[in-house]
Amino acid sequence: MKFVMPKGVEIHSGKVRISFTLNGKREREVFKDMPVNQKTIDYAGKMRALVVEEIEQGIFDYERRFPESTKLSSRVNAATSTPATPTPPSTPPPMASTGAQTPKTLTVADGVREWLRVMKGQTAKTTYINYRCKAGHVTRHFGETPINQVTIQDLKLFRNHLVKPETGEKGLSAKTVNDILIILRGVWTDAKANQLIPHNHMLEISNHKPNSKSKADPFTRDEIKQILLADAGRMPEARMVVFNCWTGLSRSELLGLAREDIDLANNLIHVRRAHVEGEFRVPKEELRERSVELIVPAARLMRQILKDTAKCQVQQIEVTQRDNLTSEQETVTLLFRDSSTGKPWKPDDLDKWFKGHLVKAKVRHRGINQCRHTFASQALSSHVNMEWLAKQLGHADTTMIKKHYGKFIPKDAKRMAPRASEQMGFGEGYSGL
């Protein structure tokens, strides 16, 4: 069987092995108890990339990464030429692999760097990038301040500063502030767990309460018709957009949908993957890995979409699993493609096309994710059961629909009295009072 081999990964004597350079010497480590398959090879590639990054940053700890290695010795215990100072048993252990850090010298910046290193290996790529960007607010404010010298008042003032800067400038959004607080909570929790601080002050810091404003700005039924008919030369794309107005997938789920996920016999599509930041991955939450029932217009459009892609070639893709470390190969035929190139859509290119298409359709601009909000809003305006709608969208309950995803559209709303009368037993033949 032919495997896809990442850089620095090889199969040697029936085992997967990685190689890297440390202190000018080439080192090799074997994954002894793991089978030789693509899953192990992908894991080894990610492990090697992490090792190389740690070596470049001067924070690589050989014993921590490869505790069972036969090569462990003082000459390879760290990526620098200075040997680590043994920690006395009575002294609290240093945080992660910072080596010489003590409760007196561990800084907020150190804590942020260590927390980000952990998050890189256990969160989705987009989540990690978000945290890395937000972390700049923390390090710029606290910098090299020892973490055990930061008071509760310091943390509260920092949170207030993010919301309403003393300079009079516009503060950050509630979501951004709360993302920054996630980083602080992680850093302080790790520091407390490693006995570097006596108390976790972040337990006293609450989130910034956001305004409960709906994100929904749905398309009306008239606008949906205009989108479908605006450009005869790009009907495959128009069908894709309108299909999603009647299905409610996210953009990333839409771009991950394949012919192999469609079950027209039962009017179902199976959401198994999403396309996020240039990679395919299983949905981050288990509820989002779901089967979606197709209502009549969605099923009709899907039949035509399958005809549009009947001659498309299957391809092998790597799908990152929920642990963010392993991946599996899938053979699929991606459904939604740029009809001008025949290639699967890239998110930025799709957004650019959609913006121009709305101009042609003479429809006010909204992002393509409003198709998801459109489905929710059209369903609510037709008095569809909200529990069913939550399941369709991949939500645990109806909270998000009520707060953010759905918006009543008076123009498209159905009269409820006839339906209520029938359900309550007051049909046309009712002769009572």
pLDDT for 83-95, tens place per residue? 333 333 333 334 4
pLDDT at 72: 61
- The mean pLDDT value for 409-426 works out to 68
302-347 pLDDT, tens per residue?
A: 999 999 899 999 999 999 998 888 889 999 999 999 999 989 999 8
User: Do residues 31 and 124 both lie within one domain?
Assistant: no
Q: Are 387 and 292 contained in the same domain?
A: yes
Q: Are residues 119 and 225 in the same domain?
A: no
Same domain, 237 and 314: yes
Claim to verify: residue 193 and residue 340 sit in the same structural domain: no
- Kindly state the average pLDDT of the residues 55-59: 77
* Dist. CA 296–CA 299, nearest whole Å: 5
| Residue 97 maps to a domain | no
Asked whether residue 393 falls in the same domain as residue 330, the answer is yes
pLDDT value for 75? 40
132 CA to centre of own chain:
14
Return the H-helix or E-strand segment holding 110. Answer: helix 108-122
What is the phi-psi region of residue 90: left when phi exceeds 0, alpha when psi lies from -120 to 50, beta otherwise? Answer: alpha
Q: What three-state secondary structure class fits 264?
A: helix
| CA-wise closest residue to 336 among 320, 347, 327 | 347
Could you tell me if 266 and 412 lie in one domain?
yes
2 CB-contact burial (10 Å; exposed 0-12 / middle 13-18 / buried 19+): exposed
pLDDT band of residue 76 (cuts 50, 70, 90) is very low
The verdict on 227 and 201 lying in the same domain is no
- The answer to whether the pTM exceeds 0.85 is no
**Domain with 5 in it:** 1-82
Q: What is the pLDDT of residue 215?
A: 77
In the chain, pLDDT over 70 holds for what percent of residues? 84
If asked whether residues 258 and 400 sit together in one domain, one would say: yes
Distance CA 342, CA 141 (A): 49
> Is residue 87 a part of any domain in this protein?
no
Q: Indicate whether 91 belongs to any domain.
A: no
Most confident of 17-26, 188-197, 256-265, 283-292: 256-265
Tell me what pLDDT residue 24 has.
84
For residue 95, being part of any structural domain is answered with no
In a domain, residue 317? The reply is yes
* Within a domain: 426: no
Residue 117 belongs to a domain with what CATH number?
A: 1.10.150.130
Mean pLDDT of the 219-224 span: 95
Token duo for residue 263:
């079950």
Average pLDDT over residues 354-373: 95
Count of domains for the chain = 3
For the chain, the average pLDDT equals: 84
Are 122 and 231 in the same domain? no
The predicted structure's pLDDT at residue 189: 94
